[in-house]
């Protein structure tokens, strides 16, 4: 019967170390996912899809006017910014 060579023994150790490394990485990933979930649950801000859509449209309007050459201090841009982006209740 042949004795296991040192080389074969090293492969086994390397395999075990690799498996331990993967296990540790999985633990870290799970911990991060749990932290992110806890952050979401702690968030007191209520996300209103309608308000988010309105804000996106308003910002696109301002961006379009800017791309057409109207500077941010132009009366039309200022007026729209005030009307569209003021706090809506």
Q: What is the pLDDT of residues 25-63, one digit of tens each?
A: 777 777 887 887 777 777 656 677 887 788 888 888 888
Q: How many domains does the chain have?
A: 2
Residue owning tokens 């296990």: 23
| Residues 20, 54 share a domain | no
How far, in Å, are 31, 34, 54 from residue 15 at the CA level? 24, 29, 55
Percent of the chain exceeding pLDDT 70 equals 69
**Exposed, middle or buried: residue 13 (CB in 10 Å: 0-12, 13-18, 19+)?**
exposed
Q: Do the beta carbons of residue 80 and residue 74 sit within 8 Å?
A: no
Domain membership of residue 21 as a residue range: 1-45
Q: Which residue has the tokens 């309105």?
A: 54
Whether residue 40 sits in one domain with residue 1:
yes
pTM for the whole thing?
0.43
On whether both 9 and 38 belong to a single domain, the answer is: yes
Query: According to the model, what pLDDT value does residue 11 have?
Result: 56
| Six token digits for residue 32 | 């991060």
């Amino acid at each position: 019967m042949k004795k296991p060579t040192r080389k074969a023994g090293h492969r086994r150790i390397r395999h075990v170390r690799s498996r331990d490394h993967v296990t540790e990485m999985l633990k870290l990933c799970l911990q991060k996912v749990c932290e992110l979930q806890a952050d979401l649950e702690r968030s007191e801000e209520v996300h209103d899809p309608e308000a988010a859509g309105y804000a996106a449209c308003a910002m696109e309007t301002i961006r379009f006017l800017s791309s057409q050459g109207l500077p941010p201090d132009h009366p039309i841009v200022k007026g729209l910014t005030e009307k569209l982006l003021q706090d809506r209740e």
